[in-house]
Amino acid sequence: MVKPKRLSQAAIAKATGLSRATVSLVLRGGTGPSEATQAKVLAAAARMGYQRNDLVLSIRSGKSKTVGVLAEPYDSHWRDICYGIHDRLIESNHLPLFLWNNHRLPVYTEDYGCQQIQRLLSRWVDGVILWPFFADLYAKHLHEFQNRNIPVVIIDHANPQVVADSVQSDEAEIAELIVGHLCGLEHREILLVSGPAGVGWADKRSHAIHAELAKVPGAVCHEVRITLPPTLSHEPKMTEDAAELIADTLRNRPGITATIASTDLFARAVYMAAGKLDWGIPERLSVIGVADLNFAAIMAPPLTTIRQDGYAIGRQAAQIELERSAGLLSGPPRVFQVGSTLIERQSTARRCRL
C-alpha cells in the first residue's frame, strides 16, 4: 500500500537551521521563540506546503475537535439546520461528521443506527448533535456518550431518557402566530393535522395550538394525527393516505373553514384532500403550514406558513455543543428556543359564510 506523503517538521527544521523542538513549538502556537524565529518557521512552512497534523494534536490534548451529527438533510428545513451546524463548527475549526440511517431501507433499523453511534465513539468525537428520530430510536444506547462525558444536543425534541441540551422552535410563539392569523380572519372551526403522537415536536406543537385556541371564544379544534414517512422517497404514499383521512374528516365536519398543517409536508395532503372534495383554497378552506419548506411558495395557491429559522437552530445547536465541550456551559441540561415568523401568502383568507 502506498502511504500519502506528508511534509515533516524535521524537514522544516533542516530548511531553517533550527531545532525540531523549536519548529514544533512554533507550529503549535507556543510561546518562547522570538518573533523573528516564529516568522522564519511560519514562512518556511507556508513555502514548503506544511499541513498541521490535527490527529496528533488531538491525541495530545484529548480533544478531537470533531462533532458527530446524526441529523439528516430530510427536507429544506433540515438542510438549513445542517448548514447552520456545519458553518458554526467550521468557524471554530471543528470538523462535523455527518451520519444518518440507511435511507434506502423502508424503516429505521436500530442495528444500523447503533453502528453509526459506534463509528462516532471510535473517532473520539467531542460531542454529538441528534435529530428527533435518532434521539428516540436509540435512546437506550446513548448512555455510551454520557459514560464518556460526551455532551449531547437534541434538535426539536427532548427525551427524558437522555441527558442532553435541546434546541427547539418556540412552539408557544408558533401557536400564537397561527391562531392569531386564522382567528383574525374570523375562522372558528378548525382542523389540526398534526404529527405522530409521542414525537416531541409534534406533541408540543399540538398542545400549544390547542392551548392557544382555547383562549378564543367559540373556537373548536378537531385533530387528525399523521405519521411522517421515514424518508422523502416515501412521501407520495404518506400524502395519499393522509389526504384520504383528511378528506373523510372534512366531509364529516362541513363546518370546518380552516386547516392547520403542523408541517408543510402535511399541507400538501390538505391540498389534495380539498381537491377531492372540490373545496377551493382559500375560498372554501384556508390552509396554513409550518416550516416554509422550499416548495411552499410555489404551491397553488402559495402556502401561508410559519417560517422556522433552521439555519439559526443549527448554529445554536453547534454553539451549545462547543460550549459544553469546552466547559464554558455547565449544570443540568437546558432548553434553548429559536423564534419563527409568519409568512402570509394566498392560501388563507377571511372565513367564508357557509
**Is pLDDT of 232 > 90?**
no
- Give the mean pLDDT of 100-124: 72
The neighbour count for residue 304, using CB atoms within 10 Å, is: 24
Contacts of residue 256, Cβ cutoff 8 Å, sequence gap at least 6: 189, 190, 191, 222, 249, 250, 285
Alpha helices in 62-199 (DSSP H): 76-91, 110-122, 132-137, 143-147, 171-184
As a whole number of angstroms, the distance between CA 228 and CA 250 comes to 21
pLDDT at 200 over 90: no
The burial class, CB within 10 Å (0-12 / 13-18 / 19+), for 306 is: buried
Rounded to whole angstroms, how far apart are CA atoms 136 and 249?
30
Quote the CA–CA distance of 110 and 116 in Å, as a whole number. Answer: 10
CB 109 within 8 A of CB 231: no
pLDDT digits (tens, 9 = 90+) for 305-346: 999 999 999 999 999 999 998 889 888 889 999 999 999 999
Contact assessment for residue 119 and residue 70, using Cβ atoms and an 8 Å cutoff: no
Q: Dump pLDDT digits (tens) for 234-271.
A: 777 888 999 999 999 999 999 999 999 999 999 999 99
Q: What is the pLDDT of residues 13-31, one digit of tens each?
A: 777 888 877 877 777 666 7
- For 207-231, the DSSP string reads HHHHHHHTTSTT-EEEEEE-PPPSS
DSSP state of 206: H
Is residue 109 within 8 A of residue 139, CB to CB? The reply is: no
pLDDT in tens, 176-194: 999 999 999 999 999 999 9
Cα–Cα dist 128/320, whole Å: 11
In one-letter notation, the amino acid at residue 53 is: N
**What pLDDT shows up at residue 303?**
98
Q: How many Å apart are CA 245 and CA 195, to the nearest integer? A: 13
258-261, strands of its sheet edge to edge: 220-225, 189-194, 258-261, 286-291, 304-308, 340-343
Give the C-alpha separation, 50 to 53, whole Å: 9
Which pLDDT does position 59 carry in this prediction? 47
Phi, psi at 154, each rounded to 5°: -110, 135
pLDDT of residue 156: 83
Condensed to tens digits (0 to 9), the pLDDT of residues 118-161 reads 888 777 889 999 887 666 666 666 777 777 888 889 898 766 66
Q: Where are the alpha helices (DSSP H) in the chain?
A: 9-16, 20-27, 35-48, 54-61, 76-91, 110-122, 132-137, 143-147, 171-184, 200-213, 235-252, 264-277, 310-326
By the 8 A CB rule, do 345 and 304 touch? Answer: yes
Burial class (CB in 10 A: 0-12, 13-18, 19+), 286: buried
Give all domains of the chain, ordered by start, each with its CATH number: 9-52 (no CATH), 66-169+311-339 (3.40.50.2300), 171-308 (3.40.50.2300)
